[in-house]
Structure 1
Amino acid sequence: MNYLPKSLATGFVLALFASSAVFAATHPVTGETLAEDQTFTYSLLDEFTSVDPQIVEDVSGADIVRDLFEGLMNQDADGNLVPGVATGYSTNDAKDVYTFTLRDNAMWSDGNPVTAHDFVYAWRRLADPATASPYSWFAEIMALENVGDVMSGDAAPETLGVTALDNHTLEVRLTSSLPYFAAMTTHSSTFPSPEWIVRTSGNDWTKPENIVSNGAYVLTEHIPNERSVRERNPMYWNNDDTILEKVVALVINDENVDFTRYLANELDKGTVPSGQYIRLKQDYPDEATSFPRLCNYYMTFNLSDSGPEAFKDVRVRQALAHAIDRSVITEKILQAGQINAFTFTPGATAGFEVPPVAFGQMSQDEREAKAKELLAEAGYGADNPLSFEYIYNTSEGHKKIAIAAQQMWKEVLGAQVTLANQEWKTFLKTRGAQGFELARGAWCGDYNEASTFLDLLTSPSGYNDGKFSNAEVDALMLDARTMDDASSNYTRVEEILANEMPVIPIYHYAGVFMLKTDVKGWPYNNVEQNVYSRNLYKVAK
């Protein structure tokens, strides 16, 4: 069966209208008068982990990588698949062999052509244990042929199920049927890498003076923990339809400072300080925005051997989860449309119906009563109070949530909880090395299907930082890969999670930020928020 993305025709129409949108001074489709300065400046809470497609592991870094590099497929403003480097793809009836046809005018920023071999190199690099990619597990859930043996070092990367049939044809062989495989190629870890630069520059290949990329922008400046700049790539195959000339990301750790700088017009997109959305929506109705996002906010228990003995008792984990009043967090602290969470998977996920797990059906009074009962059964009380440390990455919003939870645990359970915050990269290392007791967690879907969340809590997952392991969950998620409708498996997994409570779901995200009215093209209907700066533009004020 052949698949051509539904907006392929739209791309051809836009190409007919566009010569160079910037020089025309009007938008080629809408006719809006464009601003002279096409620079978009926005804020980041933390320094991103990397701009190497196979190394980046955070959302803000992936947003930058999406500008610098282009994968096989992209998404449109509604989250639908559209052509990237690939113009389309076909698959066999079993959906375990995918063949992508690559465009012949895709170029790297140094003038070299982008070929199927660049994707083969990148995907082998992702799975190769020598790369030590924190996202190598993504290659495994892509079900690439022989990926397990490659990742374990028992087979050479050359045996991975991806082959360049010629410069413009990429064949991918899977170990099982995966109907949503093409959607997974919008993820940054699957983007191509320039082998000749990686080999000559080593770990320094992503520095502005060395980097070669194939996306709409190139990295021209990077001052860690301060700013990064990306500018238009004249070699990009669709450069004529790109309008923004420059994108600047500023690292601002304080949300109040962030907002002040937004009001001073130093930022085109800025942060809504925690608890201020309602007021700001009234004061700036056309700038403050909130919409559903494909992300969750949770707390993860360290269930590894290094974790506290108390958390190995499921009653303790359940008690802590029951004691949190999520409405206080969403309605009193955040106040921006976030949804109370009792499941790990957000309701915004395509094809997912939130199951009515038992503790989510209780009133808060009932949950708190149950929490006290559970903790007493586990042997904790006034004479033997539960004590532990909760860590989170530095942010005023995370701090407010941590303090609220600390107070709830103390008032309901008499628990003695200490709080600690860490800088983002330190936090990731601490969590990844199981150097914590209870830690903040959050996940934004890598693709729009429930497995992008639930695979996170399987035994092999590279981001299962709490080291939860349940044989039934592992089997259900493995079986789900080959099912036409895996909803019953996903429901059962959520029920197991609600009983075993390896994580405490807190809320499901809303996209909340400030955006200047002269910035157009933001994809509000894309719940994954895969934003491509080349689709944004600024109109004259």
Structure 2
Amino acid sequence: MTRTTKLLAALAATTFLVAPAMAANVPDGVTLAEDQSFTYRVLDEHSSVDPQIVEDVSGSEIVRDLFEGLLTQTADGELAPGVATEWTPNEDNTEWTFTLRDDAMWSDGTPVTAGDFVYAWQRLVDPETASPYAWFGELMSIENAGAIIAGEMEPSELGVEAVDDHTLVVHLSAPLPYFAAMTTHASTFPSPSWVIEEHGDQWTRPENLVTNGAYTLSEHVPQERSVRVKSDTYWDAENTVLETVTALVINDENQALTRFLAGELDRTEIPTGEYPRLAEEYPDTAISFPRLCTYYYNINLRENGPEALKDVNVRKALAYAIDRNVITDQILQGGQIPAYTFTPGATANFEVPSVEFGEMTQAERDEMAVQMLEEAGYGADNPLELSILYNTDEAHRELATVISQMWQQKLGVQTTLDNMEWNTFLDARGNGDFEIARAGWCGDYNEASTFLDLMDTNSGYNDSAYSNPEVDELLAEAKTMSDPSANYTAIEEIVAEDMPVLPLYHYAGVYMLNPQIQEWPVNNVEQNWYSKDLYKVAAE
């Protein structure tokens, strides 16, 4: 009996996990707007619409419309069927079986099969793809993923198989009880092999792109706009209400607000510090809610990084001297939370630990910061000089300016500010061409490991190049523990002592949202929103 046959036999007596399908839920008596369009602002050009290449939040928002993975999320962040209608693990969470719906179809009329997921997942970890999210396949504990990424095994040896067109079986190298939640991430979405083989790296152009989601890509003008339109081949097209969704690239947040108030946008981020005023003037339009995200600064700990930053006293002095309450309460003013740990308190089943510097008063932190920097040999006679790299945005610039002033006034640190366009910035940060660089991390799934795994030596997004064997060991242990909370607390405490990153604040979603747009998932801290679940009501 083969491994697959044994698994299927065992599953025959197992109750599958089944959840209701999600779609736009328009209550009786609601009058819909004639114009079912949704137009929103993004700060930068997205990185890609290729599921295995996309690496940014705005790109993932587009990909979630164009492609559908095994599972999706409800407005409350609970798992819901996507292409898969049923999913279940074996007894020790090392093998997962997904049953695919038989009415899922690509936009060219080709049925979506388990083989499309096998192809996509092999493509994700294949070194030739050069996916910035290849590490996610290893993080999911898929059998042989690490060896394939390292070039030691062929992609065909990845622990995922299509038993038949509608049965996908995934073999894991370690128990992972939250594995199903990880399949809502864009990197795990299916890809059409025949289209990629025909068009190569041009397959994502609108005229070539074939998708299996609720929308197709009708237009893409780089640095300007991306337009997706409702797909008639999507299995739930009948319940998809929005016809057109447009992302407009607007670099200036104040210009975006002006265009929102002029009726050109249905959603935009509220400019820094403007939420209190706008909430009073537009109580039905200005919204703020917790996000599963952390804003922080990376410190370059590579060989080519600044010598001064290799001294933990310097790193801790910089962290301590930042008054996070000033940032959240006086500058941002949108419901953001000061961050002294990397993982947000909004994370499921995570209790924020009490790290030492987070328990001090700001005056105590400032006093210690001065002492630590002096111990490192820096002061008025030998000022520390640093640069902060950030991607072009007024809010990032303002925050970097305030932090540099804090460092100057309290520590005598002389700071220069460097800004870059988004994709250039990503390359520089990923290659270590910086001293200190801004970063934001939003959870790929709702569990503390989605944040703390960035502290692993081999993480693909460990842009500080931080390495601590004890942290690596604690992370590895956590993956097989039924309750890893003690490990997570220990990791946060170690990171607070090593200070490879400077956590600044935990995000809030602070938007101006057209009240006509209904069902925005404010209770989903991951903010995995799907245009198919939204609709626009008629104006009053």
Specify if TM > 0.5: yes
Secondary structure, counterpart of 1:360 in structure 2: helix
Q: TM-score, normalised by structure 1?
A: 0.96
Q: What is the CA–CA distance in structure 2 between the aligned matches of 1:95 and 1:540, rounded to whole Å?
A: 47
Tell me by how many angstroms 1:441 deviates. 0.8
1:486 and 2:484 are equivalent in the alignment? yes
In the alignment, which residue of structure 1 is the partner of 2:137?
139
Q: What is the CA–CA distance in structure 2 between the aligned matches of 1:408 and 1:499, rounded to whole Å?
A: 21
In the alignment, which residue of structure 1 is the partner of 2:7?
none
In the alignment, which residue of structure 2 is the partner of 1:331?
329
> 1:2·1:91 contact (CA, 8 Å) conserved in 2?
no
Tell me by how many angstroms 1:30 deviates. 3.9
Which of 169, 172, 176 is equivalent to 2:170?
A: 172
Write the deviation string for residues 377-420 of structure 1: whole angstroms up to 9, x where unpaired.
11111111111111111111111110000000001100011111
Tell me by how many angstroms 1:28 deviates. 4.6
In the alignment, which residue of structure 2 is the partner of 1:4?
17
1:242 and 1:388, CA in 2 relative to 1: closer, same or farther beyond 3 A?
A: same
Q: What is the CA–CA distance in structure 2 between the aligned matches of 1:217 and 1:362, rounded to whole Å?
A: 50
Q: What is the CA–CA distance in structure 2 between the aligned matches of 1:284 and 1:421, rounded to whole Å?
A: 33
In the alignment, which residue of structure 2 is the partner of 1:523?
521
Tell me by how many angstroms 1:271 deviates. 2.1
AA of the residue aligned to 1:315? N
AA of the residue aligned to 2:235? W
Write the deviation string for residues 214-233 of structure 1: whole angstroms up to 9, x where unpaired.
00000000000000100001
1:114 and 2:127 are equivalent in the alignment? no
> 1:118·1:192 contact (CA, 8 Å) conserved in 2?
yes
In the alignment, which residue of structure 2 is the partner of 1:467?
465
In the alignment, which residue of structure 2 is the partner of 1:369?
367
1:153 and 2:151 are equivalent in the alignment? yes
In the alignment, which residue of structure 2 is the partner of 1:258?
256
Q: What is the CA–CA distance in structure 1 between the aligned matches of 2:18 and 2:434, rounded to whole Å?
A: 45
1:235 and 2:248 are equivalent in the alignment? no
1:499 and 2:497 are equivalent in the alignment? yes
AA of the residue aligned to 2:481? M
Q: TM-score, normalised by structure 2?
A: 0.96
What's the RMSD between the two structures over aligned residues? 0.9
In the alignment, which residue of structure 2 is the partner of 1:514?
512
Q: What is the CA–CA distance in structure 2 between the aligned matches of 1:5 and 1:510, rounded to whole Å?
A: 31
1:313 and 2:311 are equivalent in the alignment? yes
Unaligned 5+ residue runs, structure 2? Answer: 1-13
Secondary structure, counterpart of 1:266 in structure 2: coil
Which of 187, 190, 196 is equivalent to 1:189?
A: 187
> 1:342·1:360 contact (CA, 8 Å) conserved in 2?
yes
In the alignment, which residue of structure 1 is the partner of 2:403?
405
Q: What is the CA–CA distance in structure 1 between the aligned matches of 2:230 and 2:44, rounded to whole Å?
A: 24
Q: What is the CA–CA distance in structure 2 between the aligned matches of 1:214 and 1:31, rounded to whole Å?
A: 32
> 2:19·2:81 contact (CA, 8 Å) conserved in 1?
no
Secondary structure, counterpart of 1:2 in structure 2: coil
AA of the residue aligned to 2:225? R
Q: What is the CA–CA distance in structure 2 between the aligned matches of 1:323 and 1:286, rounded to whole Å?
A: 38
In the alignment, which residue of structure 1 is the partner of 2:6?
none
> 1:5·1:81 contact (CA, 8 Å) conserved in 2?
no
In the alignment, which residue of structure 2 is the partner of 1:298?
296
Tell me by how many angstroms 1:91 deviates. 1.1
Tell me by how many angstroms 1:50 deviates. 0.1
% identical aligned pairs: 61
Write the deviation string for residues 260-311 of structure 1: whole angstroms up to 9, x where unpaired.
0001100011121110000000000000000000000000100011100000
In the alignment, which residue of structure 2 is the partner of 1:424?
422
Unaligned 5+ residue runs, structure 1? Answer: 15-20, 22-26
Tell me by how many angstroms 1:3 deviates. 3.8
Write the deviation string for residues 160-204 of structure 1: whole angstroms up to 9, x where unpaired.
000000000000000000000000000000000000000100000
> 2:328·2:338 contact (CA, 8 Å) conserved in 1?
yes
Tell me by how many angstroms 1:256 deviates. 0.5
AA of the residue aligned to 2:263? N
Which of 34, 46, 51 is equivalent to 1:53?
A: 51
Write the deviation string for residues 211-264 of structure 1: whole angstroms up to 9, x where unpaired.
000000000000000001000010000000000000011000000100000011
Q: What is the CA–CA distance in structure 2 between the aligned matches of 1:508 and 1:414, rounded to whole Å?
A: 27
Q: What is the CA–CA distance in structure 2 between the aligned matches of 1:267 and 1:536, rounded to whole Å?
A: 15
AA of the residue aligned to 1:76? T
In the alignment, which residue of structure 2 is the partner of 1:387?
385
Secondary structure, counterpart of 1:353 in structure 2: coil
Tell me by how many angstroms 1:147 deviates. 0.8
Q: What is the CA–CA distance in structure 2 between the aligned matches of 1:339 and 1:517, rounded to whole Å?
A: 26
In the alignment, which residue of structure 2 is the partner of 1:344?
342
Write the deviation string for residues 111-164 of structure 1: whole angstroms up to 9, x where unpaired.
000000000000000000000000001001000001111111111100000000
Write the deviation string for residues 61-105 of structure 1: whole angstroms up to 9, x where unpaired.
000000000000000000000000000112111100000000000
Secondary structure, counterpart of 1:210 in structure 2: coil
